[in-house]
Chain A
């Protein structure tokens, strides 16, 4: 049986934000700047292409547990991104949202949602792989709050020498 551990509220998880889930706006020199996150950042994937490859829609939101690794904050972040990149391609305009487990749950509770955030890497190539379970998919206001939280904690992938 796979080992599943609850991630402590004091810890943090990293959510990968693909370029297309970020809102960009060119500045006055024409350089794209991130001005927000789209709610799709927190939506479970459910489209014909994905479902075909994965035998159905996504069941939980994938994140990575930062404190799974040891070291100072940046060493932990770096190792988490390295771990993530062992299975996924990261592009330079992508970003990562560093999300506090406590704050994430608090925002969800405001919307009457009780989520479980667990480390469940047993079947994954990614050692820090974790999941956010029971995140409602029909609450646009919750997604808006989560987007604001994510936007305020975005770390550009380029910072990790991508």
Chain B
């Protein structure tokens, strides 16, 4: 079983100098009258209102729907490790502990677009996932100075950005693709960047 499947905790780890801080330092907002607004893990876990239960149920349903889509589309095509990491990211994104009132759930049609990209692109690495305010899945693949960022829209449409370094010079291209095929064609010149099979 992957190490990911054992984790239900998280940590912000420093990836840039400014992130290199102690997360257990505490006390910076100690006597603030606004403290109730700063949600701790403990207080969130103890929420027991019917509203909280309903949110938890809705998020459970949303998580289950995305995992079901993954299974239907990719049961025999997605590498088990990649699938495990996708599930981990789904659980991480749609976690009621960090859910804010008014947040949109992940759009299932957008997630289908992402899965179809993963199945057809020959990806070498699992993506980092995010969510737009409208509920569209965001995905990024970062490999050193090279990166691919997608916003997956319903019905195989994409907004995308590629950034690659060639001979020390950065080249960037961005676009909107009306179909998966068009996106794959657009990414063809960047296949050596490290996220797609060359």
Contacts and interface: CB of A to CB of B under 8 A. Distances in A.
Given A40-B133, A161-B26, A20 B103 contact: yes
Contacts of B88: 26, 30
A33 B29 CA distance: 24
A151 B163 CA distance: 16
B38 interface: yes
B40 interface: yes
B92 A24 contact: yes
B3 A40 contact: no
B169 to A, nearest CB: 15
Interface residues of A, number: 60
A156 B10 contact: no
B29 A82 contact: yes
Given A34-B19, A36-B142, A140-B159, A18 B104 contact: no
Contact of B4 (A30, A85, A95, A153): A30
Given A23-B128, A26-B85, A140-B161, A85 B38 contact: yes
Contacts of A154: 16, 18-19
A158 B23 contact: yes
Contact of A20 (B26, B93, B140, B161): B93
Pick the most buried of A49, A141, A161: most chain B CB atoms within 10 A of its CB.
A161
A159 interface: yes
A160 B38 contact: yes
A94 B180 CA distance: 32
B101 A89 contact: yes
Interface of A: 18-36, 38-40, 43, 45-50, 53, 74, 78, 81-82, 85-95, 98, 140-141, 144, 151-156, 158-162
Given A38-B130, A158-B23, 13 more contacts: A20-B103, A20-B130, A23-B138, A24-B92, A26-B88, A35-B142, A86-B34, A92-B40, A140-B175, A153-B18, A155-B19, A156-B19, A161-B38
